[in-house]
Copies of this chain bind each other. A is one copy, B any other.
């Protein structure tokens, strides 16, 4: 079995800094149907995902980290609207969203660095609207896994566009639904 990796801020920040480039490389300069199609009812397209990641950086991760550090767990976090990008991305192109995500993520990481979080502060907690007490460490680890979740989802979505084109190989490709 693999060992669990303890959270380290420098590693987390390194991983977070790479996501805009990973996603840009996957999605830039493709015919629109590769970025605008989703993989079934109520799923996100790659276009939706990038808008969702931007909204998370603008309203969730750093905002909650700051709230934990500054308010001593007095108020629950604002709930995060997972579908806000259906409004906020309206009328934009995927190229605009990729640029915006890169810029917004850069800001987020600058803000994170400026917080100068100490090892002891990682154990400070905030109130999640559904889970109750969560620590700053858990919030930041979740930010990284949330990025991975959506890189994973973009790959799934793109693979799905060739779901019939692959013919019988579908059986070997776990990324496609059986």
Spell out A's residues near B (CB within 8 Å): 1-7, 11, 14-15, 18, 21-22, 25-26, 29-31, 33-34, 37-41, 45, 128, 131-132, 134-135, 137-138, 141-142, 144-146, 148-149, 151-152, 155-156, 158-169, 171, 173-176
Contacts and interface: CB of A to CB of B under 8 A. Distances in A.
A168 B134 contact: yes
Given A3-B37, A168-B138, A158 B15 contact: yes
B25 A165 contact: no
Contacts of A14: 29-30
Which 6 residue pairs are nearest across A and B when measured between Cβ atoms?
Answer: A138-B167, A141-B165, A148-B159, A5-B161, A2-B37, A152-B155
A147 to B, nearest CB: 8
A134 B25 CA distance: 30
A145 B176 contact: yes
- List the number of copies, as a whole number: 2
A44 to B, nearest CB: 11
B7 A165 contact: yes
Contacts of A6: 165
Contacts of A1: 40-41
Contact of A159 (B7, B132, B152): B152
A148 B156 contact: yes
Contact of A5 (B18, B34, B134): B34
